[in-house]
A = this chain, B = another copy of it.
Amino acid sequence: MAFFKGKELYSMDSKGRVNIPAKMRKSVSPEANDTFTVTRGLDGCIEAYPLDTWRIKEEHFEKLNQYNAQNRFFLRKILMWSEEVTLDSQWRVMLPKKLLEFAGIDGKVVIAGVGDHIEFWEPEKYEEYMAGTEETYEDIAAKVMYVG
């Protein structure tokens, strides 16, 4: 399974194409078939999952009972933002307009690898988010990384 890391500042061209950084390409397995599912991410970003990783989520969704009103609502809410995109020969993707609008991405993009997926951020929003806590990196690391 792919594991993405790193953070880059790239640019989106006039046609809405964004390059996937070479470092991250190498984490994508051939099973992904040059395809990502992009969807609305958390905290205002766009998330992209390689096809093979997304399939696991789909299997999870398929098991939900749609005759339960809450499940139905959740599914609709999640899937309305999800779309498949394929890479062109230069390893670029065309991000859907509604997602670009949601994320406020326009010219420059921060591309970040976050484990099982890649995130696209509007650069300022990214900085704000990263600045948005009083806790130090050390404090947070202590909480998250602690292995009892």
A residues near B (Cβ < 8 Å) are 1, 3-7, 23, 26, 37, 40, 42-43, 56-58, 60-62, 64, 66-67, 69, 72-84, 98, 112-116, 119, 129-130, 132-133, 137-138, 140-141, 143-145, 147
Given contacts A78-B141, A78-B145, 20 further A-B contacts (CB under 8 A): A3-B58, A3-B61, A5-B37, A5-B83, A6-B82, A7-B80, A7-B81, A7-B98, A42-B67, A42-B137, A42-B141, A43-B69, A56-B147, A61-B144, A64-B144, A74-B143, A76-B119, A76-B129, A76-B130, A79-B114
Given A7-B81, A23-B84 in contact, is the A74-B112 Cβ separation under 8 Å? no
Name the residue on B nearest A71 (C-beta). Answer: B144
Complex CA gap A69/B133 in Å reads 12
